[in-house]
Amino acid sequence: DGRGARHDVLLPRELTDALKALAQQEGASLYMALLTGWQMLMARYSGQEDVTVGSPMAGRTRGEVEGLIGLFVNAQVLRTRVSGTASFRTLLRQVRETVLGAQEHQELPIERLVEELKPERIPGRTPFFQVMLTYQASFRSAASVEGVKLEALELDTFSAKFDLTLQVLETDAGLKGYLEYTTDIFTASTAARMAEHLRVLLQEAVAQPNEAVARLPLLTAVERREMLVEWNATRAPFPEACMHSLFEAQVRRAPEAVAAVFEGTQLTYAQLDARANQLAHALRRRGVGPEVRVALSVERSLDIVIGLLGILKAGGAWVPVDPLLPRERLAFMLEDSAAQVLVTQQPLVDRFPEALHARALCLDTERGALSAEPTDAPVTGVTHANMAYLLYTSGSTGTPKGTAVEHRSVANLVTHEAVAYGIGPGSRVLQFASLSFDLSVEEIFTTLCNGATLVLAPLEKLMPGAPLPVLLREQELSVVSLTPAALAATSSEGLPEVRTVISGGEALPADVVARWAPGRRLLNTYGPTEATVIATFGEVVADGNVPSIGKPLANVRVYVLDAHGQPVPVGVRGELHIGGVGVARGYAGRPGLTAERFTPDAFSSTPGARLYRTGDVVRWRADGQLDFVGRIDAQVKVRGFRIELGEVENALRAAPAVKDAVVLAREDSPGDKRLVAYVVGEALDITALRAHLKQLLPEYMVPAAFVPLDALPLTSNGKVDRKALPAPDASVLRASHAYEAPATPLEEKLAALWSEVLRVPTVGRTDNFFELGGHSLLATQLVARVRAALDVELPLRALFEAPTISALAERLHRASTGTRLPPLTRTRTEGPQPLSFAQQRLWFLDQLAPDDASYNLPVTLRLLGRLDVQALRRAFEALVARHEALRTTFFEEEGQPFQRIHPPAEWVLPMEDLSGLEESERDAETLRLATREARQPFHLVHGPLLRTALLKLSDVSHVLLATMHHIVSDGWSMGVLIRELASLYESFSGGRAPSLPPLPVRYADFALWQRQWLQGETLESQLGYWKRQLAGAPAALELPTDRPRPAVQSRRGATVPVHFPSELTDSLRSLAQREGATPFMLLLSAFQLLLSRYSGQDDVSVGSPIAGRTHAEAEGLIGFFVNTLVLRAHVRPEDSFRQLLAQVKATTLAAYEHQHVPFEKLVEVLQPSRDLSRSPLFQVMLV
């Protein structure tokens, strides 16, 4: 929406000179070197090698136009392929050629380029580029005018035309300027980091111009230490021991404590230890020892824990094999793992190849033989460095890969998880996950190695939905670990014993957090099998946001790196790399794949330390927590746009009615790849969902089709089975370019106009104006033709918001029923003129309090350099001659006020010389005189209503005081005055005639236009709204006051500064954006809520000013146009803030549509009870 802010940028003189020298070596300019650095920064932040930046060029290729004022500038599209292996010097040469080529072809306007190339248009984004670089060479040679030094003061317009604009100017201090950014998508802290990273990058490029740019540091030393050291300060003690040794320590501590229960049967720690030892002896006789793999395939029962511990006590490593897997996959896993023994149960044996039957040890049928084995633990020689388990996960090639994990890694996991999860003696922990899913390692061994009780159950009792809560209640479970999909499908009600819930395996939706977090601890965990179950975790609260994946577990280190292995800044996406104790040994029998995914740890001082490349895209938060974004391999391209499916899924999960969602890129028709959303929720409204996403995501990331499901299909591991998601109905995915004929006469007229402007033969009712090659200039043409052909007023913005024939026809239908403003034109009326309604009110107020300075508009300007006082006086004289409002006085005739416009006259500019005073006295006297001038009342009858004075502080320093009465001016007018005064002064001091264009209308024309238009039906129509809106509104807002209210307002007052921190401001903006409101509407809602709480009233009216310049002809006038709107809210205690905001938004938009009724007219018609101690209709204002 164009809202923006700026961050100051300074590249010091030393760096600027070094850049310039490097550029000269390559026959390039400082601008080219800066552009190279800017494109390098954009490449690093975006992760893209192909970077396009816009940059303005003067467009004055002919000498004849150099002295003309006019719009000649043209934006050039500068594209660079920022290869990470290229050096800065190489890139600079490439950029030099690009810039020179662009300059040779700069005659082609960018608007024509858009028209010809027809890039895909995305609302909120400019075509071709969204980032700009504006460079100005020094204007030091023209930095003074007739001895007066000009000092540019940057004014933050709080707007941004592009996502980012770097604007710099070469000064004595170096390259100085600002980074302008869109506040809808960037925060102040991000802009500050970006500016600092540009400086670091350029500094490194100058120091190492031949180094590959991907290797040039981006982070400051402080940031680098924070990310690599402080956020990874996780070192903590843990037992360097085997898993079964930790279990045996618990056996010795409390042998009679219950270790595991299943369906009414249980084993104490001592019983479980004895049974596991017996199995271990049997396995030892079958050749099991350190590094020997043993397959374990049993139904859910106590055999699970007996089997696992027995294999470990025999020195072996278990290989979980799910008996429900297809036979071919079972055969592959057993062959690939080279399992020596298969520990199973008799009913399952037939599922395995016959060749393996001889290796099977059945825990049920061989129980008698096992009971005869010794109950003490065998001696095996196994150490913490040996393999504990080999777990198979899906491979990208379709072939499963086995991850080998050592005892030491699990010992660290179970030691520190127990602290984080609060698991110890007395805890009852659910065993939910399949053995094929590594969350089972966490559940079983964190429990048994820390003296807690493990609760096992048959599969039918573990089913999410109705069965699971029954089990949780009956077994009085205190700790449960479930996937988000299982949590989403299960009720969280009536489970008082469940005090800790652990979510893992997939992204945790905010909706699930909202249901499960209140009243208990909810932990969000993240970790691939290759990092031993859990790498990061964090406690989450129900705040409506997608939770982070937290911080690293003890002795785990995490790094977010770009494609070249460099750390990325806060907020920038990168691949998560995991180091530390949890890193697995690798993939069994796959040395090539192991070397690819497990790489040397360049950040560790430990010899042989490795990092696991997760393939997961994450980003740092400023507080050292990690946000999960999605998979690298889930990054898809649709219509040329790169999309993280996880980002779309997170946005969907944030929608109120959505419980869970998955997004795929499907190509069900060749060449027609589309995003499809699969959504689980209650009473889903697809239109509302689409609208919700459009508030959060660009158009190209909004799915083309939405498929509602009762539940997402799950794999045996409890993760979403994406392959089982159904193809959407073909009609839902109909191509957007399919022709649909116009359906109404209005649509047919519009289609004809589009054909003319776009030069296309046919236009359908669903065709998009911008997809057909439209751009801003053609849109302007179309609006003009619509106005001429249909006699309907249509704002240009409407075409961007409704870019199809059908949507625009609907918008036009609504517009045709609204109010159309008559044109504002110059009149030839001579003599006394009527006042505008706003002026009339100020006249009456002046009659009541003639010496009141409340409506003075003062401005104070410091002028540095040798000032041509006579030129300044003449500039004011010309300004007053140009603007009739500044030579207007007011008088009364037969009880009615009129304005009299006086002929131009000589202007007097009084000057007071303070140069003889000491500096401290001079400053004090300047302040005193400026304050006195600002508070000096005007006489509306005698005038003048503009006063000026000059204070001389020295030969090269002056202060200009200018004050206007509000009756002839407003805040907007101040900008006009300063702008035109500067232009006139420059002309007079340079001995030239002024060159300002003539004004199309006068303020008196506006006053007459307003009087003539706002009467009869028009006035009644506008007033009707306000009568309805303000009917029954309380006469006053009864705020508690510190002092008694005077009978007549004295207008004495004071101010207190108000500052909202940037974090709060960003949050407010984000909330406003989600609700389709503006920050003003949100602040107004909060303000009215505050006033309601203070006053004890639920009906609150607040005043707010609006510019009132609804005609382009009025934009350059000095005059009193501003109007005041009365914004009323009903603050109902039962409403949420979101509901209040929706009400305030509707009220504000309606007020804007009826803004033409002057506040004064409103008071006159509504006749509120008048009280000299208060202003009518409202007593509190928000500006």
pLDDT, tens only, 972-1013: 788 889 889 999 999 999 899 888 888 888 888 888 888 887
Task: Calculate the average pLDDT of the chain.
Answer: 85
**Residue 862, domain CATH:** 3.30.559.10
Average pLDDT (146-160) is: 61
pLDDT confidence of residue 137? 58
CATH code (residue 693): 3.30.300.30
What's this model's pTM, rounded to 2 decimal places?
Answer: 0.58
Higher-pLDDT residue of 120 and 1068 is 1068
Identify the pLDDT of residue 671: 43
d(CA 581, CA 240): 10
Query: Strand, helix or coil at 363?
Result: coil
Q: Would you call 131 helix, strand, or coil by DSSP?
A: strand
- Does residue 997 share a domain with residue 1020? no
Q: Is 134 helix (H, G, I), strand (E, B) or coil?
A: strand
User: What's the rounded mean pLDDT across residues 1089-1109?
Assistant: 88
If asked whether residues 997 and 1068 sit together in one domain, one would say: no
Cα separations in angstroms, 575 against 169, 563, 992: 37, 8, 63
Dist CA 1076 CA 1089 (whole Å): 19
Instruction: Give tens-digit pLDDT for 391-427.
Output: 987 554 446 789 999 999 999 999 999 999 999 999 9
Query: Does 946 share its domain with 1022?
Result: no
Interval 763-798: pLDDT, tens: 888 877 765 655 544 665 677 677 667 767 666 557
| Residue 950 forms part of a structural domain | yes
Picking from 88-102, 443-457, 687-701, 734-748, which range would have the lowest pLDDT averaged per residue? 734-748
Q: Percentage of the chain with pLDDT > 90?
A: 45
- For the segment 539-545, the average pLDDT, to the nearest whole number, is 89
H-type helices in 1053-1170, by residue range? 1062-1074, 1079-1095, 1137-1153, 1159-1166
Radius of gyration of the chain (CA): 37
Does residue 1174 lie within any of the structural domains? no
Q: What amino acid occupies position 670?
A: P
Q: How far apart are CA 711 and CA 1075, in angstroms?
A: 28
Task: Report pLDDT for 716.
Answer: 65
Structural domain harbouring 1132: 1014-1166
Judge if 1034 and 1061 occupy the same domain.
yes
Q: Is residue 669 part of a domain?
A: yes
Long-range CB pairs of 685-689 (<8 Å, 24+ gap) are 685/657, 688/655, 688/657, 689/652, 689/655, 689/657, 689/658
CATH number, domain of 24, equals: 3.30.559.30
Angstrom CA distances, 349 to 113, 282, 330, stand at 71, 18, 12
If one compares 110 and 524, the residue with the highest pLDDT of the two is: 524
Specify burial of residue 574 (Cβ count, 10 A radius: 0-12, 13-18, 19+). buried
Using DSSP's 3-state secondary structure scheme, residue 418 falls into: helix
Percent of the chain with pLDDT over 70: 87
Residue 880, pLDDT above cutoff 50: yes
Residues in the chain: 1183
CA distance 198 to 39: 10
Q: Is residue 558 part of a domain?
A: no
DSSP β-bridge partners for residue 1101? 1128
> Residue 751: inside a domain, yes or no?
yes
Q: Residue 1182 class from Cβ within 10 Å (0-12 exposed, 13-18 middle, 19+ buried)?
A: middle
1045 and 917 in a common domain: no
pLDDT at 139 over 70: no
Mean pLDDT of 925-946: 91
Considering the domain boundaries, does residue 486 fall inside one? no
**Predicted pLDDT of residue 733:** 35
d(CA 862, CA 151): 10
DSSP string computed for 39-102: HHHHHHHHT-SEEEEEEEE----SGGGTT--S---EEEEEEEE--TTSBHHHHHHHHHHHHHHH
In a domain, 1008, yes or no: no
Q: Are residues 49 and 131 in the same domain?
A: yes
Q: How many domains does the chain have?
A: 5
Write the pLDDT tens digit of every residue in 65-78. 445 555 445 577 88
Q: Is residue 1126 situated within a structural domain?
A: yes
Domain co-membership, 765 together with 887: no
Per-residue confidence band for 846, with pLDDT thresholds at 50, 70 and 90: confident
Q: How does residue 651 score in pLDDT terms, banded at 50, 70 and 90?
A: confident
Residues 118 and 49 in one domain: yes
Look at residue 838 in the predicted model and tell me its pLDDT.
Answer: 82
Residue 1133 or 698, more confident: 1133
The pLDDT value given to residue 471: 95
- Give the model confidence (pLDDT) of 1039-1067 as tens digits: 888 888 887 777 778 888 898 887 888 78
Examine the pLDDT at 830 and tell me if it is beyond 90: no
**608-612, 672-676, 737-741: range with lowest mean pLDDT:** 737-741
According to the per-residue pLDDT averaged within each range, which of 735-749, 805-819, 843-857, 944-958 is highest?
Answer: 944-958
Distances (CA, A) of 243 to 256, 423, 449, 1056, 1097: 20, 16, 7, 64, 66
Compute the CA torsion angle 825, 827, 831, 835 (nearest 10 deg).
Answer: -30
Q: At what angle do helices 439-448 and 303-313 cross, to 10 degrees?
A: 80
Q: Which of 358-367, 589-598, 1059-1068 has the lowest mean pLDDT?
A: 1059-1068
Which of 816, 841, 864 is at the close of a domain? 816
What mean pLDDT do residues 126-141 have? Answer: 69
Reported as a pLDDT band with limits 50, 70 and 90, residue 557 is: very high
Side-chain-side CA neighbours of 599 within 13 Å: the count stands at: 14
Closest by CA position to 42, among listed 210, 167, 227, 218: 218
Give the pairing type, strands 672-681 and 705-709.
parallel
The answer to whether residues 548 and 513 touch, using CB atoms and an 8 Å cutoff, is no
Residues 909 and 808 in one domain: no
- Are 434 and 716 spatial neighbours (Cβ–Cβ below 8 Å)? yes
User: Does the pLDDT of residue 1112 top 70, yes or no?
Assistant: no
Give the residue among 551, 558, 594 at the shortest CA–CA distance from 577.
Answer: 558
The predicted pLDDT at position 1023 comes to: 82
Note the pLDDT tens digit of each residue in 310-342.
Answer: 999 999 999 999 877 667 778 888 999 999 999
Whether residue 939 sits in one domain with residue 896: yes
* Residue 502: pLDDT over 90: yes
Distance CA 54, CA 58 (A): 13
β strands within 527-634, DSSP E: 536-539, 551-552, 556-561, 574-580, 586-587, 598-600, 610-620, 626-631
Q: Please state the rounded mean pLDDT for residues 1149-1167.
A: 78
What pLDDT, on a 0 to 100 scale, did the predictor assign at position 797?
Answer: 59
CA–CA separation, 138 vs 175, rounded Å? 9
Tens-digit pLDDT profile for residues 179-237: 989 888 899 999 999 999 999 999 999 999 999 999 999 999 999 999 999 999 999 99
Burial group, residue 451, by CB count within 10 angstroms (0-12, 13-18, 19+): buried
Q: Say if residue 662 is in the same domain as residue 766.
A: no
Judgement on whether residues 1026 and 907 belong to the same structural domain of the protein: no
